Structure 1
Amino acid sequence: MKTIKLLLVTFFTIHFCNAQKIIPDEVKDIMKKVADWQMDHINDSYSNKKPHHPLHWTNAALYVGMAKWAEMADDDTYYNWLKGIGNQNNWLLHERKYHADDHAVGRMYAALYRKYNQKEMLEPTIEQFSFLMHHPANTKLNWATPYHQDRWNWCDALFMSPPVWADLYNITGEQKYLDFMFEEYKATTEFLFDKEEHLYYRDERFKGKLDKGTKIFWGRGNGWVYAGLADILSNLKPQTKEYEYFLDIYKKMSKKLLELQTPEGHWAMSLLGQEFYPTPESSGSSFFVYGLTWGINNGILKGNNYKKAIIKGWNAMASYVDDNGMLGYVQPIGAAPGNASPDKTEVYGTGAFLSAGSEIYKMVKGQ
């Protein structure tokens, strides 16, 4: 009887481990499938009645992931596609000078500059950010304040603009970019970060509100923040005050996210309310997988619990990709927990998935 029990335990252990195993080539295969599908469907309408502008924040989030995939791909198709977008738009940021959403495309420009070292790719961003430093917005962060979004008073903004400032600091070596970003980021964090839950409110309107008895922390909004933290930290020098500041937030969020992952592997649209929001949401969850895996790959997060969460999360995200390469369960454009379905996608979901895959590939290839 003991022998039989031992054999059964061994069988299920091996079966479980094999089910959890991630194959590097399979990661690349599904990333290519998703990237190719998205490029073929870049002009679909998605959440809007018409396609997004090439410089819109939705596409900018896609480009972040696409640039990471381009670095892994076996040909220059994806780099050429991104360069074409930059050239067609004269390497300009989007329309609003102060609004974080319209800075986000600068992240793609920085990635391409690092590869090609062509100054025209960054000159317009440097010029615009120089203006912002000399003419900073003086509005308060309160939602009802006039021109309130001229500063980062909603949590998604922390993905859109701060990493661009960090890129410029890293590329140019000029401290002024980091100084400006650091002070603004601290102001937003003091305003929106819940020190008990270690999560960000989407904006001031959600502070003090409850949804079925739980505080409202939007899954995707926190996904934006968390991925942005990883990208900021990648640009900074360890042991500096700025690095330690961002690392502290990153570690606090990481620990909380580990607690909040659902048994299925995703994170709920309202992070504390998975009982009331059981439907998967793949854009925020993919960014959580990205950020967590980045932490493992950089020796910041340690232990099997994080690795198990990452594997479970990636397998869940990959299961939401259909046979054609479309990532499903992406919540449409919004600012709060809502609805998602297997037949709905968005370009930023693809960007998040590709970002996650880039770090997953590094992790499993190195094992």
Structure 2
Amino acid sequence: MKRLLTTGFFAMIIAGMTSCSVQKQNTATSVNLPDKKEVLEVAERANHYFMNKWPDAGKEIVGKKVWPSNLWTRAVYYEGLMALYKIHPKKEYYDYALDWSQKHNWDMMRGTFTRNADNQACGQTYLDLYEIDGKKHPERIKYVKMSMDSMIASGKSDDWWWIDALQMGMPIFTKLGRITGDKKYFDKNYEMYAFTKYKHGGNGLYNPKDKLWWRDKSFVPPYKEPNGEDCYWSRGNGWVIAALARTLQDTPKSDPHYQEYLQDYKDLLSALVPIQREDGFWNVSLHDPTNFGGKEMTGTALFVYGMAYGINNNLIDKKTYLPVLTKAWTAIVKDSVQPNGFLGWVQGTGKEPKDGQPLSVNKEPDFEDYGLGCLLLAASEVYQLK
């Protein structure tokens, strides 16, 4: 009974916060947009720190084991670099991405016919480079297409059993669909997305009640956080936001599932507004601030990316979300991005709030690259705000 009362009381507080927060935002007459020059300076500072640290784009990453540099963490970085290149097309960014892709022969990590979305994530950058150069280099798309075609031919749809996979895999299908004009890529993308949303973990990894996602079947009820709430991991939900934003970018509005993507995207963003921390960040555990509560950059940056993308493309209400994202972006710039470009408050790799803890402003995570990718994605959209 005590737990039920505590949880109910927590829900009442959240509801009150929602009402007050949205009311304040809707009555705000103006919000100062982040200065474009400052946004670009922050992105370049963080990126230069990383590029100087990793001058050889093909160098293996040595940690508890040795990883090839086209693993998912580095792939997310290059997604961010491509986004930065689009708003600030410096040749050194293009060259860095091209060198990385060539050193991996434009292939997936673990080979062309891997089914793991983490291993396929590098294909997003290969496709970007294919388009940047006017589709003149078929070798850049060859293995990505073969990999996705093999997924379609298999008839299987249950490969995305963890929500991070949505961000790693969905944009590849939709980019291929747009580039080739072949509907099969959009169809397969939804088929796999729907399996994750409605079937994995028994009834799917999406909770329509809270409008948030469980990371995988390990975290669906009866699993609870220490305060009795469901476990919604910040970065995991950030991956979903990024996946949906990038999917909406490439999926035609005439697609039969476009509206479902859009609604899921809007619903998830709406769930974030009342639970933003006072300092602008989001906790690693979205419904339990007592479980390693504190600043965390990666989930926050992905939420900023999703909100800024929605405003820039007229998908969400600017009055509601601009104050939220500017507060979060300001917090990242003030507290996370250091004078030398190092990013603090980055949770290391893992799957739940306790992983990589405790965080600090000067703690180096096990992989630095994906955190920077999240920042660059956010910066690329914040830069375009009007």
When the two structures are superposed, what TM-score results if normalisation uses the length of structure 2?
0.83
CA distance in 2, matches of 1:252, 1:264: 23
Question: Structure 2 counterpart of 1:328, which letter?
Answer: G
> What is the aligned counterpart of 2:224 among 210, 235, 249?
210
- 1:121 counterpart = 2:140: yes
> What is the aligned counterpart of 1:198 among 194, 199, 211?
211
> What is the aligned counterpart of 1:24 among 36, 41, 46?
36
CA distance in 1, matches of 2:148, 2:232: 30
Question: Structure 2 counterpart of 1:204, which letter?
Answer: K
CA distance in 1, matches of 2:215, 2:145: 28
CA distance in 2, matches of 1:18, 1:129: 46
- 1:82 counterpart = 2:97: yes
> What is the aligned counterpart of 2:351 among 331, 335, 350?
335
User: In 2 relative to 1, CA 46–93 (structure 1 residues): closer, same or farther, beyond 3 Å?
Assistant: closer
CA distance in 2, matches of 1:162, 1:135: 17
What is the SS of the residue equivalent to 1:133?
Answer: helix
- 1:228 counterpart = 2:243: yes
- Residue correspondence of structure 1 range 36-55 to structure 2 within 5 A: 36-42=48-54, 48-49=63-64, 52-55=67-70
Shift of 1:214: 1.3
> What is the aligned counterpart of 1:176 among 184, 192, 207?
184
Shift of 1:223: 0.6
Q: Which residue of 2 aligns with 1:148?
A: none
User: In 2 relative to 1, CA 197–176 (structure 1 residues): closer, same or farther, beyond 3 Å?
Assistant: same
CA distance in 1, matches of 2:350, 2:341: 24
CA distance in 1, matches of 2:372, 2:66: 15
CA distance in 1, matches of 2:312, 2:337: 25
Q: Which residue of 1 aligns with 2:12?
A: none
CA distance in 2, matches of 1:174, 1:239: 14
Shift of 1:137: 3.5
Percent of aligned pairs sharing the same letter = 29
Shift of 1:50: 5.9
- Residue correspondence of structure 1 range 1-367 to structure 2 within 5 A: 20-42=32-54, 48-49=63-64, 52-95=67-110, 97-116=114-133, 117=135, 118-137=137-156, 151-190=159-198, 191-208=204-221, 209-212=223-226, 213-319=228-334, 320-338=336-354, 339=357, 340-343=359-362, 344-345=364-365, 346-363=368-385, 366=386
- Write the deviation string for residues 20-45 of structure 1: whole angstroms up to 9, x where unpaired: 54110011111111111111223899
CA distance in 2, matches of 1:229, 1:255: 14
CA distance in 2, matches of 1:94, 1:158: 17
Confirm or deny: 8 A CA contact 2:285 2:293 kept in the other structure: no
Question: Structure 2 counterpart of 1:211, which letter?
Answer: E
User: In 2 relative to 1, CA 196–28 (structure 1 residues): closer, same or farther, beyond 3 Å?
Assistant: same
Confirm or deny: 8 A CA contact 1:214 1:273 kept in the other structure: yes
The runs of 5 or more residues in structure 1 that have no matched partner are: 1-15, 142-150
Aligned length: 338
Confirm or deny: 8 A CA contact 1:194 1:200 kept in the other structure: yes
Confirm or deny: 8 A CA contact 1:166 1:235 kept in the other structure: yes
Confirm or deny: 8 A CA contact 2:291 2:353 kept in the other structure: no
What is the SS of the residue equivalent to 2:257?
Answer: helix
What is the SS of the residue equivalent to 1:98?
Answer: coil
Shift of 1:19: 9.6
CA distance in 1, matches of 2:79, 2:250: 15
What is the SS of the residue equivalent to 2:384?
Answer: helix
What is the SS of the residue equivalent to 1:129?
Answer: helix
User: In 2 relative to 1, CA 47–200 (structure 1 residues): closer, same or farther, beyond 3 Å?
Assistant: farther
When the two structures are superposed, what TM-score results if normalisation uses the length of structure 1?
0.87
The runs of 5 or more residues in structure 2 that have no matched partner are: 1-27, 199-203
CA distance in 1, matches of 2:311, 2:33: 16
